[in-house]
Structure formats: C-alpha cells, structure tokens
Amino acid sequence: MQLFHTLRELRAFLDGCAGNRIGFVPTMGNLHAGHCQLVSQAKNRTDIVVVSIFVNPLQFGANEDFGSYPRTLQADVEQLRAVGADVVFAPGVDEVYPDFNGQDLMQQVIVQPSSLADILCGASRPGHFAGVATVVTKLFHMVKPDLAVFGKKDYQQLMVIRSLVRQLNFGIEILGMDTMREPSGLAMSSRNGYLTAQQKNQAAQLYAQLQGMRTALQHGRRDYIALCQGSISVLKQQGWQVDYVEIRSQLDLSEPSEDETELVILAAAKLGSTRLIDNCEVNL
C-alpha cells in the first residue's frame, strides 16, 4: 500500500495505472468499521482503491470541532492496509487549498451546491455543504475515479454529492452503502468518540425513535408532522437537544405526499455537546 501526501506523488502513481478501474473513498480519518466496509465495497468493484484522509476546514462552522477533530493517521493507515486499500492520500491543507490562510475564504473558489444543501442540516449549518461540495470536487479532480463510495449515514450529503456529480457531468458512479451500527443500534461515527460511556448507551435512543416511526408508517400512519413532533418530544424528555426530525422523500428530500412509497426519516440532535445524525429508509 502506498501513502502519499502530495498531489504530484498521487498523480505519478495513478498515471501508471492507465487501464485500471479506480475506486475512491473520501474520509476525514479516525476510521471505524463502517469506513472499512466502504473500502471493501470499492475493492470488490474496482482494480485500484484510493482512500483520502483529509479534515476539511471549509465544512466546519466557526464554533464547531475542526481543531479538536481526531487525527489518527498511523492507526488509519494500518486499518486500510488490512482491508486492502492500494493508496492512502493524506494531503495537508495547503495541498488542497493553495491560497487558504485559515480565515479569508474570499480567496477560495467555492462550489455552490444545489438547493438540497439549504434544508435539514444545511439550515442549521450554513456553508457546510458548500465546504463539502468544494472539497469533493477537488478530490474528484485529483483522483479521477471511476467509482466513489459513500455511507448513507449522512444521507443529505450523499444526495448533495449525487446532484453535484450529475450537474457537473463528472461521469463518476456514486455508490451509497448502508450504515454500519453498534449492537445497540447506534450508527458508527467518528464523533462517537466524544461520548461518555453513559452517553453512548443513551445515544441508541435516536435510532430507536426512527425505528418506531418506520413501524408506524408501515402500519398506515401518514400524519407526518405529528409523528415527527412525537419523536422530538420524547427525545427532549430524554435529554437531547433536537435540531430536527423529518420525514422526506428518498428521491429528492422534498416533503412527501401521503401516497409516497419511498420515504426516509432523518434526524439530527445533540447529546451533551456532541451532534449526532441518523436516518432510516422506509419502503412501503
């Protein structure tokens, strides 16, 4: 397995891989079993798998955890070697954003995503998805993959990236993989490391609420607003600070009609100071 820190090294290697199908898994590091599953899926479908590890400053808000986000490169590299990744690309900020000085975003070319980025998490984290769209565009340009694999845990991000690829004519196949979970049902996430042992047990309540809503929908409930408000109320009673619980269309995250058959329930809430997101697809 190769470890590269510069675009020049990466391009020199990939130029020698002409004729091979390239798979790509972008990450921010601090990897867990869910990331490894994405790499394995890419490995099954392509000849060469590139994994990026880059904590992207443009997708963090002013009061978010960019500075404290875990950087565990050595441990990440060992995990990726074990699951058969071919290349780890771990660039510095200056390599990805040559003119970035940490504050003046006016010097950056920003990729503005579609209106999908303005709802749900985008409404409470202004600029977040523009940061995601910008770094993903840059990484796609650097790696030039045939296939890119993303987890469904951040469902809105996956939808934003699908729209980006379609509208910018990248010609890259985007594969979305189901969320891996702890035995409790808690979605695996790098941010779970912020939780205390007690909070980690409590965090399973979020997915339990989504499962309860899915069951209600499968049994004929269509009062979407009441269902969401009921779950929000329960979560607040359990000590959560709820950003949103919403039922949306899988197709485009629009508000669904009562006869919609492909739905997704999405939620974001804080437990202590840790913001967690989760979702649950419902096919009726």
Check if the beta carbon of residue 149 is closer than 8 Å to that of residue 139: no
Give the count of beta carbons closer than 10 Å to the beta carbon of residue 82: 11
Closest by CA position to 34, among listed 189, 159, 183, 155: 189
User: Annotated active-site positions, please?
Assistant: 35
Displacement of CA 35 from its chain's centroid (Å): 10
